[in-house]
Chains A and B, each alone.
Chain A
Amino acid sequence: MIIRIEVKNIYKKFNADFRNDKTALSGIVGVLSGGNVKKEISVLDDVSFSVAAGEIMGVIGRNGSGKSTLLRLIAGVYQPDSGEIKTNGKLVYLTGVSQGSMPKLTMRENIYLMGAVMGLTSREIDERFDEIVEFSGLREFVDMKVYQFSTGMIARLNFSTVIHCVKHQNPDILLLDEILSSGGDLRFQEKASQKMEELIKGGAAVIIVSHNEDDLLKHSDKVLWLDNSKIVAMGGPKEVFDKYILSIKK
Protein backbone atom coordinates (compact mmCIF):
# COMPACT_ATOMS: atom_id res chain seq x y z
CA MET A 1 0.00 0.00 0.00
CA ILE A 2 1.52 3.33 -1.07
CA ILE A 3 0.89 6.27 1.24
CA ARG A 4 0.25 9.29 -0.97
CA ILE A 5 -0.61 11.93 1.60
CA GLU A 6 0.81 12.07 5.07
CA VAL A 7 -0.16 14.89 7.41
CA LYS A 8 1.55 15.03 10.81
CA ASN A 9 0.54 17.33 13.65
CA ILE A 10 0.00 20.38 11.49
CA TYR A 11 -0.79 23.71 13.02
CA LYS A 12 -1.92 26.74 11.06
CA LYS A 13 -2.87 30.18 12.26
CA PHE A 14 -4.07 33.34 10.56
CA ASN A 15 -3.68 36.93 11.64
CA ALA A 16 -7.22 37.92 12.47
CA ASP A 17 -6.55 41.64 12.30
CA PHE A 18 -4.95 41.60 8.92
CA ARG A 19 -6.96 43.78 6.64
CA ASN A 20 -6.95 43.27 2.93
CA ASP A 21 -7.16 46.99 2.30
CA LYS A 22 -4.00 47.74 4.20
CA THR A 23 -2.47 50.70 2.42
CA ALA A 24 0.71 52.72 2.60
CA LEU A 25 -1.24 55.56 4.18
CA SER A 26 -3.02 53.48 6.80
CA GLY A 27 0.27 51.70 7.53
CA ILE A 28 2.04 54.96 8.32
CA VAL A 29 -0.89 56.18 10.39
CA GLY A 30 -0.94 52.82 12.20
CA VAL A 31 2.75 53.00 13.09
CA LEU A 32 2.45 56.60 14.28
CA SER A 33 -0.56 55.89 16.45
CA GLY A 34 0.85 52.58 17.66
CA GLY A 35 -2.39 50.87 16.80
CA ASN A 36 -1.19 47.68 15.15
CA VAL A 37 -2.25 45.03 17.62
CA LYS A 38 -1.89 41.47 16.39
CA LYS A 39 -4.51 38.89 17.08
CA GLU A 40 -4.11 35.35 15.88
CA ILE A 41 -6.66 32.62 15.43
CA SER A 42 -5.74 29.01 14.88
CA VAL A 43 -7.41 27.41 11.89
CA LEU A 44 -5.96 23.94 12.19
CA ASP A 45 -4.55 22.49 15.37
CA ASP A 46 -2.73 19.19 15.71
CA VAL A 47 -4.26 17.55 12.65
CA SER A 48 -2.78 14.22 11.52
CA PHE A 49 -3.91 11.57 9.06
CA SER A 50 -2.77 9.72 5.98
CA VAL A 51 -4.38 8.72 2.71
CA ALA A 52 -3.17 5.80 0.64
CA ALA A 53 -3.27 5.34 -3.12
CA GLY A 54 -6.78 4.40 -4.20
CA GLU A 55 -8.25 5.57 -0.92
CA ILE A 56 -10.97 8.22 -0.84
CA MET A 57 -11.37 10.43 2.19
CA GLY A 58 -14.26 12.81 2.75
CA VAL A 59 -13.93 15.91 4.94
CA ILE A 60 -16.93 17.40 6.71
CA GLY A 61 -17.44 20.23 9.15
CA ARG A 62 -19.24 23.52 9.55
CA ASN A 63 -18.27 26.60 7.56
CA GLY A 64 -15.00 27.97 8.82
CA SER A 65 -13.88 24.75 10.45
CA GLY A 66 -10.69 24.63 8.38
CA LYS A 67 -11.62 22.23 5.57
CA SER A 68 -10.52 24.38 2.66
CA THR A 69 -7.42 25.52 4.53
CA LEU A 70 -6.49 21.87 5.00
CA LEU A 71 -6.68 21.22 1.26
CA ARG A 72 -4.73 24.38 0.47
CA LEU A 73 -2.00 23.29 2.88
CA ILE A 74 -1.74 19.88 1.25
CA ALA A 75 -1.72 21.49 -2.18
CA GLY A 76 1.09 23.80 -1.13
CA VAL A 77 -0.91 26.98 -1.68
CA TYR A 78 -0.51 27.77 2.03
CA GLN A 79 2.40 26.83 4.28
CA PRO A 80 1.83 25.25 7.71
CA ASP A 81 3.17 27.05 10.79
CA SER A 82 4.34 23.77 12.26
CA GLY A 83 4.00 20.09 11.54
CA GLU A 84 4.76 18.19 8.40
CA ILE A 85 2.95 17.41 5.17
CA LYS A 86 4.33 14.82 2.80
CA THR A 87 2.84 14.16 -0.60
CA ASN A 88 4.08 11.56 -2.99
CA GLY A 89 3.10 11.79 -6.65
CA LYS A 90 1.45 14.19 -9.06
CA LEU A 91 -1.04 16.38 -7.24
CA VAL A 92 -4.08 18.17 -8.62
CA TYR A 93 -6.14 20.54 -6.49
CA LEU A 94 -9.54 21.62 -7.77
CA THR A 95 -11.82 24.26 -6.38
CA GLY A 96 -14.40 26.63 -7.78
CA VAL A 97 -14.76 25.21 -11.25
CA SER A 98 -17.11 28.07 -12.05
CA GLN A 99 -14.34 30.64 -11.99
CA GLY A 100 -11.56 31.16 -14.41
CA SER A 101 -13.13 31.85 -17.78
CA MET A 102 -12.59 35.21 -19.41
CA PRO A 103 -15.86 36.56 -20.81
CA LYS A 104 -14.30 38.60 -23.60
CA LEU A 105 -12.51 35.66 -25.13
CA THR A 106 -14.06 33.00 -27.32
CA MET A 107 -14.75 29.52 -26.04
CA ARG A 108 -11.79 28.20 -28.02
CA GLU A 109 -9.44 30.78 -26.52
CA ASN A 110 -10.78 30.05 -23.05
CA ILE A 111 -10.10 26.36 -23.38
CA TYR A 112 -6.49 27.06 -24.31
CA LEU A 113 -6.10 29.58 -21.50
CA MET A 114 -7.60 27.34 -18.83
CA GLY A 115 -5.53 24.44 -20.10
CA ALA A 116 -2.38 26.54 -19.82
CA VAL A 117 -3.29 27.63 -16.31
CA MET A 118 -3.78 23.99 -15.37
CA GLY A 119 -0.33 23.21 -16.62
CA LEU A 120 -0.88 21.74 -20.08
CA THR A 121 1.17 22.76 -23.08
CA SER A 122 -0.72 23.98 -26.11
CA ARG A 123 0.17 20.79 -27.94
CA GLU A 124 -1.40 18.75 -25.16
CA ILE A 125 -4.52 20.90 -25.33
CA ASP A 126 -4.64 20.37 -29.09
CA GLU A 127 -4.85 16.64 -28.43
CA ARG A 128 -7.72 17.06 -25.97
CA PHE A 129 -9.53 19.90 -27.67
CA ASP A 130 -12.13 17.89 -29.60
CA GLU A 131 -12.89 15.75 -26.61
CA ILE A 132 -13.49 18.83 -24.44
CA VAL A 133 -15.78 20.48 -26.98
CA GLU A 134 -17.64 17.23 -27.61
CA PHE A 135 -18.24 16.63 -23.93
CA SER A 136 -19.50 20.16 -23.32
CA GLY A 137 -21.99 19.77 -26.17
CA LEU A 138 -21.21 23.31 -27.32
CA ARG A 139 -19.66 22.51 -30.69
CA GLU A 140 -21.52 25.23 -32.60
CA PHE A 141 -20.46 27.95 -30.13
CA VAL A 142 -16.73 27.30 -30.21
CA ASP A 143 -15.89 30.65 -31.77
CA MET A 144 -18.43 32.69 -29.86
CA LYS A 145 -17.33 34.97 -27.05
CA VAL A 146 -18.13 33.61 -23.64
CA TYR A 147 -19.98 36.70 -22.36
CA GLN A 148 -22.79 35.69 -24.70
CA PHE A 149 -23.07 32.28 -23.01
CA SER A 150 -25.75 31.40 -20.50
CA THR A 151 -24.71 30.46 -16.96
CA GLY A 152 -25.34 26.81 -17.73
CA MET A 153 -23.22 26.94 -20.86
CA ILE A 154 -20.35 28.49 -18.92
CA ALA A 155 -20.65 25.78 -16.29
CA ARG A 156 -20.49 23.15 -19.01
CA LEU A 157 -17.48 24.75 -20.67
CA ASN A 158 -15.60 25.05 -17.37
CA PHE A 159 -16.40 21.57 -16.20
CA SER A 160 -15.45 19.91 -19.48
CA THR A 161 -12.18 21.80 -19.73
CA VAL A 162 -11.13 21.20 -16.15
CA ILE A 163 -12.09 17.54 -16.03
CA HIS A 164 -10.27 16.72 -19.25
CA CYS A 165 -7.18 18.62 -18.21
CA VAL A 166 -7.11 16.72 -14.92
CA LYS A 167 -7.59 13.45 -16.70
CA HIS A 168 -4.73 14.29 -18.99
CA GLN A 169 -2.45 14.93 -16.03
CA ASN A 170 -3.35 11.56 -14.56
CA PRO A 171 -2.89 12.65 -10.94
CA ASP A 172 -1.77 10.40 -8.09
CA ILE A 173 -3.38 12.77 -5.60
CA LEU A 174 -6.65 14.54 -6.14
CA LEU A 175 -7.99 17.25 -3.83
CA LEU A 176 -11.57 18.31 -4.51
CA ASP A 177 -13.09 21.29 -2.74
CA GLU A 178 -16.86 21.48 -3.22
CA ILE A 179 -16.77 20.68 -6.88
CA LEU A 180 -18.66 17.44 -7.21
CA SER A 181 -21.67 19.09 -8.80
CA SER A 182 -21.05 20.52 -12.22
CA GLY A 183 -23.92 22.89 -12.91
CA GLY A 184 -25.69 22.73 -16.23
CA ASP A 185 -28.91 20.87 -16.98
CA LEU A 186 -29.88 17.47 -15.59
CA ARG A 187 -28.58 15.50 -18.54
CA PHE A 188 -25.22 17.21 -18.38
CA GLN A 189 -25.03 16.78 -14.62
CA GLU A 190 -25.56 13.09 -15.01
CA LYS A 191 -22.85 12.87 -17.63
CA ALA A 192 -20.58 14.99 -15.49
CA SER A 193 -21.00 13.04 -12.30
CA GLN A 194 -20.23 9.87 -14.21
CA LYS A 195 -17.02 11.48 -15.47
CA MET A 196 -16.21 12.66 -11.97
CA GLU A 197 -16.71 9.20 -10.61
CA GLU A 198 -14.34 7.77 -13.21
CA LEU A 199 -11.76 10.28 -12.07
CA ILE A 200 -12.26 9.65 -8.38
CA LYS A 201 -12.17 5.89 -8.77
CA GLY A 202 -9.12 6.03 -11.04
CA GLY A 203 -6.67 4.87 -8.36
CA ALA A 204 -5.51 8.21 -6.99
CA ALA A 205 -5.51 9.17 -3.33
CA VAL A 206 -8.53 11.46 -3.10
CA ILE A 207 -9.70 13.99 -0.52
CA ILE A 208 -13.19 15.40 -1.02
CA VAL A 209 -14.52 18.39 0.87
CA SER A 210 -18.28 18.50 0.57
CA HIS A 211 -21.48 19.33 2.38
CA ASN A 212 -23.40 16.81 0.37
CA GLU A 213 -24.05 13.72 2.47
CA ASP A 214 -25.08 11.52 -0.42
CA ASP A 215 -21.92 12.24 -2.37
CA LEU A 216 -19.67 11.56 0.57
CA LEU A 217 -21.41 8.38 1.61
CA LYS A 218 -21.34 7.13 -1.95
CA HIS A 219 -17.67 7.83 -2.63
CA SER A 220 -15.62 7.85 0.53
CA ASP A 221 -13.81 5.02 2.28
CA LYS A 222 -13.40 7.14 5.39
CA VAL A 223 -14.57 10.52 6.62
CA LEU A 224 -12.76 13.16 8.67
CA TRP A 225 -14.82 15.58 10.76
CA LEU A 226 -13.23 18.92 11.56
CA ASP A 227 -14.61 21.36 14.08
CA ASN A 228 -13.01 24.37 15.68
CA SER A 229 -9.69 23.64 13.98
CA LYS A 230 -9.44 20.14 15.48
CA ILE A 231 -10.29 16.62 14.35
CA VAL A 232 -13.46 15.51 16.15
CA ALA A 233 -13.76 12.09 14.57
CA MET A 234 -12.32 10.01 11.78
CA GLY A 235 -13.57 6.66 10.56
CA GLY A 236 -16.27 4.93 8.56
CA PRO A 237 -18.44 7.36 6.58
CA LYS A 238 -21.78 6.34 8.04
CA GLU A 239 -20.61 6.36 11.62
CA VAL A 240 -18.86 9.78 11.46
CA PHE A 241 -21.76 11.29 9.56
CA ASP A 242 -24.28 10.15 12.13
CA LYS A 243 -22.25 11.78 14.91
CA TYR A 244 -21.93 14.94 12.87
CA ILE A 245 -25.65 15.19 12.16
CA LEU A 246 -26.39 14.56 15.82
CA SER A 247 -24.08 17.39 16.89
CA ILE A 248 -25.75 19.81 14.48
CA LYS A 249 -29.22 18.96 15.73
CA LYS A 250 -28.21 19.48 19.35
Chain B
Amino acid sequence: MGNLYQEIKSVAGLSFSLAKANFKVRNEGSFFGIFWYLLEPLAFFLILFFIGQNLSQKSIEQYPMYLLVGLIMFNFFNAVTLFSTKVISNNSGFIKSLKINSEAFVLSGVWQFVFSHFFEVVVLIIFGLIFKINISFFIFYLFIFPFFVLFTSGVSFVLSVLGVYVGDLRNVWNVFSRLLWFATPIFYAVGTNTVIKELNTINPLYYFIMITREVIIYKKIPSPALLFTVALFSVLVFIAGFLVFEKFKNRLAERL
Protein backbone atom coordinates (compact mmCIF):
# COMPACT_ATOMS: atom_id res chain seq x y z
CA MET B 1 0.00 0.00 0.00
CA GLY B 2 2.84 2.35 0.92
CA ASN B 3 4.42 1.46 -2.39
CA LEU B 4 1.33 2.42 -4.34
CA TYR B 5 1.15 5.70 -2.49
CA GLN B 6 4.79 6.43 -3.37
CA GLU B 7 4.10 5.54 -7.00
CA ILE B 8 1.09 7.85 -7.22
CA LYS B 9 3.03 10.60 -5.52
CA SER B 10 5.90 10.27 -7.95
CA VAL B 11 3.62 10.23 -11.03
CA ALA B 12 1.77 13.27 -9.73
CA GLY B 13 5.01 15.10 -8.99
CA LEU B 14 6.58 14.30 -12.33
CA SER B 15 3.50 15.13 -14.38
CA PHE B 16 3.22 18.43 -12.55
CA SER B 17 6.87 19.30 -13.25
CA LEU B 18 6.49 18.38 -16.92
CA ALA B 19 3.32 20.42 -17.20
CA LYS B 20 5.02 23.40 -15.62
CA ALA B 21 7.95 23.12 -18.02
CA ASN B 22 5.70 22.75 -21.07
CA PHE B 23 3.57 25.63 -19.92
CA LYS B 24 6.62 27.85 -19.57
CA VAL B 25 7.98 26.83 -22.96
CA ARG B 26 4.66 27.38 -24.65
CA ASN B 27 4.14 30.74 -23.07
CA GLU B 28 7.75 31.87 -23.38
CA GLY B 29 7.96 32.27 -19.64
CA SER B 30 5.39 35.03 -19.52
CA PHE B 31 1.67 35.11 -19.00
CA PHE B 32 1.14 36.84 -22.33
CA GLY B 33 1.38 33.43 -23.97
CA ILE B 34 -1.91 32.56 -22.36
CA PHE B 35 -3.47 35.08 -24.72
CA TRP B 36 -2.91 32.70 -27.63
CA TYR B 37 -4.69 29.93 -25.81
CA LEU B 38 -7.62 32.25 -25.12
CA LEU B 39 -7.66 33.68 -28.62
CA GLU B 40 -9.47 30.80 -30.26
CA PRO B 41 -12.45 30.60 -27.91
CA LEU B 42 -12.66 34.40 -27.81
CA ALA B 43 -12.58 34.75 -31.59
CA PHE B 44 -15.23 32.06 -31.93
CA PHE B 45 -17.16 33.78 -29.20
CA LEU B 46 -17.22 37.04 -31.15
CA ILE B 47 -18.27 35.41 -34.41
CA LEU B 48 -20.92 33.23 -32.85
CA PHE B 49 -22.16 35.98 -30.57
CA PHE B 50 -23.21 37.89 -33.66
CA ILE B 51 -24.42 35.09 -35.88
CA GLY B 52 -25.04 32.13 -33.60
CA GLN B 53 -28.36 33.13 -32.18
CA ASN B 54 -29.80 33.50 -35.65
CA LEU B 55 -28.80 29.93 -36.41
CA SER B 56 -30.57 28.60 -33.36
CA GLN B 57 -34.18 27.54 -33.51
CA LYS B 58 -35.18 29.18 -30.31
CA SER B 59 -33.86 32.17 -28.48
CA ILE B 60 -31.47 31.37 -25.68
CA GLU B 61 -31.52 33.14 -22.37
CA GLN B 62 -28.18 34.67 -21.33
CA TYR B 63 -26.75 33.72 -24.70
CA PRO B 64 -23.21 35.14 -24.21
CA MET B 65 -22.71 33.07 -21.07
CA TYR B 66 -24.34 30.03 -22.62
CA LEU B 67 -21.96 30.30 -25.56
CA LEU B 68 -18.81 30.92 -23.57
CA VAL B 69 -19.39 28.00 -21.19
CA GLY B 70 -19.77 25.67 -24.18
CA LEU B 71 -16.71 27.08 -25.91
CA ILE B 72 -14.29 26.86 -23.01
CA MET B 73 -15.37 23.42 -21.89
CA PHE B 74 -15.05 22.05 -25.39
CA ASN B 75 -11.74 23.85 -25.81
CA PHE B 76 -10.37 22.10 -22.73
CA PHE B 77 -11.45 18.67 -23.92
CA ASN B 78 -10.13 19.32 -27.42
CA ALA B 79 -6.76 20.66 -26.27
CA VAL B 80 -6.05 17.80 -23.86
CA THR B 81 -7.12 15.00 -26.17
CA LEU B 82 -5.31 16.42 -29.20
CA PHE B 83 -2.15 16.82 -27.10
CA SER B 84 -2.41 13.22 -25.94
CA THR B 85 -2.40 11.78 -29.48
CA LYS B 86 1.27 12.72 -29.83
CA VAL B 87 2.46 12.83 -26.25
CA ILE B 88 4.15 9.42 -26.15
CA SER B 89 6.07 9.78 -29.41
CA ASN B 90 7.06 13.35 -28.54
CA ASN B 91 8.65 12.05 -25.36
CA SER B 92 10.18 8.95 -26.91
CA GLY B 93 13.64 10.12 -25.82
CA PHE B 94 12.65 9.83 -22.18
CA ILE B 95 10.53 6.73 -22.55
CA LYS B 96 13.22 4.75 -24.35
CA SER B 97 16.07 5.80 -22.11
CA LEU B 98 14.55 5.71 -18.65
CA LYS B 99 12.38 3.37 -16.69
CA ILE B 100 9.77 5.99 -16.16
CA ASN B 101 6.09 6.06 -15.30
CA SER B 102 4.81 7.13 -18.69
CA GLU B 103 1.36 7.92 -17.26
CA ALA B 104 3.02 11.13 -16.16
CA PHE B 105 3.36 12.34 -19.75
CA VAL B 106 -0.35 11.94 -20.41
CA LEU B 107 -1.28 13.56 -17.12
CA SER B 108 1.14 16.43 -17.77
CA GLY B 109 -1.08 17.36 -20.73
CA VAL B 110 -4.10 17.34 -18.47
CA TRP B 111 -2.42 19.54 -15.84
CA GLN B 112 -1.12 21.92 -18.44
CA PHE B 113 -4.56 22.60 -19.83
CA VAL B 114 -6.11 22.73 -16.38
CA PHE B 115 -3.81 25.73 -15.78
CA SER B 116 -4.94 27.28 -19.04
CA HIS B 117 -8.56 26.53 -18.30
CA PHE B 118 -8.23 28.49 -15.11
CA PHE B 119 -7.67 31.62 -17.22
CA GLU B 120 -10.70 30.83 -19.35
CA VAL B 121 -12.76 30.61 -16.20
CA VAL B 122 -11.43 34.00 -15.16
CA VAL B 123 -12.64 35.38 -18.50
CA LEU B 124 -15.98 33.68 -17.89
CA ILE B 125 -16.28 35.38 -14.53
CA ILE B 126 -15.43 38.74 -16.07
CA PHE B 127 -18.12 38.20 -18.70
CA GLY B 128 -20.52 37.21 -15.95
CA LEU B 129 -19.89 40.54 -14.24
CA ILE B 130 -20.24 42.45 -17.52
CA PHE B 131 -23.54 40.76 -18.35
CA LYS B 132 -24.68 41.25 -14.77
CA ILE B 133 -25.12 37.62 -13.80
CA ASN B 134 -25.12 36.56 -10.20
CA ILE B 135 -21.83 34.69 -10.24
CA SER B 136 -22.21 33.02 -6.84
CA PHE B 137 -23.27 29.74 -8.46
CA PHE B 138 -19.94 29.58 -10.31
CA ILE B 139 -18.61 27.95 -7.17
CA PHE B 140 -20.41 24.74 -8.18
CA TYR B 141 -18.12 24.46 -11.19
CA LEU B 142 -15.46 23.35 -8.73
CA PHE B 143 -17.51 20.18 -8.24
CA ILE B 144 -18.36 19.59 -11.90
CA PHE B 145 -14.94 20.26 -13.42
CA PRO B 146 -13.03 17.47 -11.59
CA PHE B 147 -15.36 14.89 -13.14
CA PHE B 148 -14.89 16.48 -16.53
CA VAL B 149 -11.13 16.19 -15.98
CA LEU B 150 -11.51 12.51 -15.09
CA PHE B 151 -13.50 11.84 -18.23
CA THR B 152 -11.04 13.77 -20.42
CA SER B 153 -8.06 11.96 -18.84
CA GLY B 154 -9.64 8.56 -19.50
CA VAL B 155 -10.13 9.40 -23.18
CA SER B 156 -6.58 10.79 -23.35
CA PHE B 157 -5.04 7.60 -21.93
CA VAL B 158 -6.60 5.59 -24.74
CA LEU B 159 -5.64 8.11 -27.41
CA SER B 160 -2.04 8.28 -26.22
CA VAL B 161 -1.65 4.51 -26.64
CA LEU B 162 -3.45 4.50 -29.98
CA GLY B 163 -1.23 7.38 -31.15
CA VAL B 164 1.82 5.13 -30.90
CA TYR B 165 0.30 2.55 -33.23
CA VAL B 166 -1.40 4.95 -35.62
CA GLY B 167 0.95 7.68 -36.81
CA ASP B 168 -1.68 10.02 -38.23
CA LEU B 169 -4.08 9.72 -35.31
CA ARG B 170 -3.71 13.43 -34.66
CA ASN B 171 -5.19 14.24 -38.06
CA VAL B 172 -7.99 11.74 -37.64
CA TRP B 173 -8.82 13.02 -34.18
CA ASN B 174 -8.65 16.61 -35.36
CA VAL B 175 -11.36 15.96 -37.94
CA PHE B 176 -13.42 13.96 -35.48
CA SER B 177 -13.24 16.69 -32.88
CA ARG B 178 -14.33 19.32 -35.44
CA LEU B 179 -17.38 17.19 -36.21
CA LEU B 180 -18.01 16.77 -32.51
CA TRP B 181 -17.78 20.53 -32.10
CA PHE B 182 -20.63 21.04 -34.52
CA ALA B 183 -22.63 18.14 -33.13
CA THR B 184 -22.42 19.47 -29.58
CA PRO B 185 -24.81 22.28 -28.75
CA ILE B 186 -22.19 24.92 -28.16
CA PHE B 187 -23.60 27.89 -30.05
CA TYR B 188 -27.13 26.59 -30.54
CA ALA B 189 -29.72 24.95 -28.36
CA VAL B 190 -31.03 21.46 -28.86
CA GLY B 191 -34.56 21.66 -30.19
CA THR B 192 -37.13 18.96 -29.70
CA ASN B 193 -37.27 15.85 -31.80
CA THR B 194 -34.34 16.56 -34.02
CA VAL B 195 -31.47 14.43 -35.22
CA ILE B 196 -29.18 16.62 -33.14
CA LYS B 197 -31.14 15.75 -30.05
CA GLU B 198 -30.94 12.04 -30.72
CA LEU B 199 -27.25 12.31 -31.43
CA ASN B 200 -26.56 14.18 -28.23
CA THR B 201 -28.11 11.57 -26.00
CA ILE B 202 -24.89 9.61 -26.60
CA ASN B 203 -22.54 12.60 -26.50
CA PRO B 204 -20.86 12.80 -23.08
CA LEU B 205 -19.69 16.36 -23.70
CA TYR B 206 -23.30 17.44 -24.06
CA TYR B 207 -24.09 16.31 -20.53
CA PHE B 208 -21.10 18.03 -18.96
CA ILE B 209 -21.79 21.29 -20.75
CA MET B 210 -25.54 21.11 -20.16
CA ILE B 211 -25.16 20.48 -16.43
CA THR B 212 -22.64 23.30 -16.08
CA ARG B 213 -24.94 25.75 -17.85
CA GLU B 214 -27.97 24.71 -15.84
CA VAL B 215 -26.13 25.16 -12.58
CA ILE B 216 -23.92 28.20 -13.00
CA ILE B 217 -25.99 30.29 -15.40
CA TYR B 218 -29.59 29.29 -14.74
CA LYS B 219 -29.11 28.29 -11.10
CA LYS B 220 -31.09 25.09 -11.47
CA ILE B 221 -29.93 21.89 -9.86
CA PRO B 222 -30.30 18.94 -12.27
CA SER B 223 -31.86 15.70 -11.06
CA PRO B 224 -29.68 13.71 -8.65
CA ALA B 225 -30.03 10.68 -10.92
CA LEU B 226 -28.47 12.58 -13.82
CA LEU B 227 -25.67 13.98 -11.67
CA PHE B 228 -24.93 10.56 -10.25
CA THR B 229 -24.89 8.95 -13.69
CA VAL B 230 -22.51 11.53 -15.10
CA ALA B 231 -20.19 11.26 -12.09
CA LEU B 232 -20.16 7.47 -12.25
CA PHE B 233 -19.63 7.55 -16.01
CA SER B 234 -16.61 9.87 -15.62
CA VAL B 235 -15.03 7.63 -13.05
CA LEU B 236 -15.63 4.54 -15.18
CA VAL B 237 -14.17 6.17 -18.31
CA PHE B 238 -11.12 7.19 -16.31
CA ILE B 239 -10.62 3.70 -14.92
CA ALA B 240 -11.16 2.05 -18.31
CA GLY B 241 -8.73 4.43 -20.03
CA PHE B 242 -6.17 3.93 -17.31
CA LEU B 243 -6.43 0.14 -17.55
CA VAL B 244 -5.97 0.25 -21.32
CA PHE B 245 -2.85 2.35 -20.79
CA GLU B 246 -1.50 -0.02 -18.13
CA LYS B 247 -2.04 -2.99 -20.41
CA PHE B 248 -0.05 -1.44 -23.22
CA LYS B 249 2.47 0.79 -21.50
CA ASN B 250 5.25 -1.79 -21.30
CA ARG B 251 5.07 -2.36 -25.04
CA LEU B 252 5.14 1.27 -26.09
CA ALA B 253 8.92 1.78 -25.90
CA GLU B 254 9.52 -0.85 -28.59
CA ARG B 255 7.24 0.93 -31.00
CA LEU B 256 8.92 4.30 -30.72
Contact = CB atoms under 8 A, between A and B. Distances in A.
A151 interface: no
B98 A118 contact: yes
B60 interface: no
Nearest to B10: A119
B253 interface: yes
Contacts of B227: none
A95 B97 contact: yes
Interface in A49-108: 72, 75-79, 91, 93-96, 99-100, 102, 104-105
A144 interface: no
**B interface majority secondary structure:** helix
Contacts, number: 79
B102 to A, nearest CB: 10
A117 B251 contact: no
Given A75-B99, A77-B99, A122-B13, A102 B166 contact: no
Nearest to B22: A102
B168 interface: yes
B166 A23 contact: yes
A21 B168 CA distance: 8
Contact of B167 (A23, A116, A118, A121): A23
A121 B13 contact: yes
Given A21-B167, A24-B169, A104-B28, A76 B99 contact: yes
B243 interface: no
A105 B23 CA distance: 11
A96 B97 contact: yes
Contact of B18 (A76, A96, A113): A113
A100 to B, nearest CB: 7
* Size range of the chain A interface in the assembly: 20 to 34
A100 B18 CA distance: 12
A23 B168 contact: yes
B25 A117 contact: no
Interface centre among B18, B100, B167 (most CB of A within 10 A): B167
B248 to A, nearest CB: 11
B253 A77 contact: yes
Contacts of A25: 168
Interface centre among B97, B255, B256 (most CB of A within 10 A): B97
A250 interface: no
B166 A24 contact: yes
7 contacts: A20-B167, A76-B99, A77-B97, A77-B99, A104-B24, A112-B17, A117-B17
Interface of B: 10, 13-14, 17-18, 21, 24-25, 28-29, 93-100, 165-169, 172, 250-251, 253-256
